[in-house]
Amino acid sequence: MMVDRKEIAHLGDLVKVDLKDPEKYIAQVEQILNYFEGLDKVDFKSEKTLRNEIQYDDLREDKYEKFSSDGRPLVDFLKKAQDNFVRAPKMI
């Protein structure tokens, strides 16, 4: 599937991202679209390919276990915890 600069720039506008060099994304977008084309060609007529059944008897029993032996809550062990909130690292 062919993708051109204009389509990449349009995608950037739709997601409100300023793309300084849309050409560098053409190959990546084409690769993604080709992957989806391949998925469209997969034959899913057999239900066996769609499910992975596990018998109820094969499931483990859920058991409650305390996090610490001294009874402190988990948040006490986390870094940068403040008033039961945890500060996560910045996502770039």
> Tell me, what's the pLDDT at 79?
72
> Tell me, what's the pLDDT at 31?
92
DSSP character at residue 79: T
Under a CB-based contact definition with an 8 Å cutoff, are residues 38 and 1 in contact? no
pLDDT in single tens digits along all 92 residues of the chain: 788 888 888 888 898 888 888 888 888 889 999 999 998 888 777 666 566 778 888 899 998 887 888 888 877 777 766 676 777 777 77
pTM over 0.75: no
How far is the C-alpha of 67 from the C-alpha of 55, rounded, in Å?
Answer: 30
> Tell me, what's the pLDDT at 37?
92
Under a CB-based contact definition with an 8 Å cutoff, are residues 5 and 26 in contact? yes
